[in-house]
Amino acid sequence: MSKTKQRLLYAAYVISVTLFFLYILFPSEVAKKYLISGLNRINPDFDIMIGNVKPDFPLGIKLYNVSAYHQGVSIFDAEKIVLSPAILPFFMGRLSLNIGGAVYAGLIEAKVDFSWKKFRPEKAYVRMNDIQIGEIIMLKNLIPHDLEGVLNGNITYDAGEEKNISVMSNILLVGFGIEFLSPYYGLETLNLKKIEADLELNKNQLKVNRFTNTGGDVDGSLSGSVLIRNVIGRSVLNLNGSVRPNPVFIEKLAKINPVVKAFFKKSSGNSDIPLHIQGTLERPRFF
């Protein structure tokens, strides 16, 4: 065997042994404390909890049982998240992180670009696949009703200049249903088949550029804005659009309140009914 082959085999052996002991002797507790400390420094209002940390071939790490809290309120949890650096951007002078995870019976994939100086996200792209909204802990805390539906879509984040942060999102929600814990104007459930939405968040204003539903109890569309407050339930609604209730749904409402049937007669078949929503998320008012 030539000396060159011997050296290559020896190098491969050393690398293999090094990787083996790195994975076997990986300092899970040290890595977990370091990550939690670093993430909490990025935003002190958030607390992160991680159950376990393991290496992921070749240069990534796996986080298990991850939870996030904002001012003591649980807002996110995941069974597993995989973090790995993007190699090509690194050699081009950029710091990027690829993220994948199993969350709420679905999957997320993301790419995050960081600032070298402050190690804060500058840009991010997140793809959501088959997320079960009934499992989302933040929605459970915000909405005191039972939800179901499958969420797909993407979110784009840009820190901009002078903290002029913008977030844009395109979502598709299929099979949405809500079961009210107590009847809402006599209504116990509401089902919408296919919701599509284009949203844009700039500072504390959420612009609803498009919100449509096709199928289910009500067809309709909305647009407008939501002024976000620190207490989410007090966020101010200013939405306008139109709805076209399903005839079966109208009959259902008529049994609850006979006035409803007479009201919907003005829709005259296929025409839409104007809808205006004001008030707050906790107490919306419909006109």
pLDDT at residue 26 greater than cutoff 70:
no
What is the pLDDT at residue 14?
Answer: 44
What is the pTM for the complete model shown?
Answer: 0.79
Q: State phi, psi for 59 to the nearest 5 degrees.
A: -130, 10
Distance of CA 218 to the CA centre of its chain: 25
Query: Average pLDDT for residues 263-283, to the nearest whole number?
Result: 73
Residue 268's pLDDT band, with cuts at 50, 70 and 90, is very low
CB neighbours of 200 closer than 8 A, spacing ≥ 6? 166, 167, 168, 169, 206, 207, 209
pLDDT at residue 267 greater than cutoff 90:
no
Residue 101 CB: number of other CB atoms within 10 A? 19
What is the pLDDT at residue 169?
Answer: 92
Task: Provide the 8-state DSSP code for 141.
Answer: H
Handedness of CA 244, 250, 253, 258 (dihedral sign): positive
Query: Average pLDDT for residues 70-81, to the nearest whole number?
Result: 82
Q: How far apart are CA 268 and CA 287, in angstroms?
A: 19
Q: Which two tokens mark 260? A: 């409803």
Residue 27's pLDDT band, with cuts at 50, 70 and 90, is low
pLDDT tens string 215-237: 999 999 999 999 988 777 788 99
Q: How far apart are CA 170 and CA 201, in angstroms?
A: 12
pLDDT at residue 15 greater than cutoff 80:
no
How far, CA to CA in Å, does 96 sit from each of 45, 124, 154?
Answer: 24, 9, 18
Q: Amino acid identity, residue 124?
A: A
pLDDT at residue 12 greater than cutoff 70:
no
Handedness of CA 119, 123, 128, 134 (dihedral sign): positive
pLDDT at residue 72 greater than cutoff 50:
yes
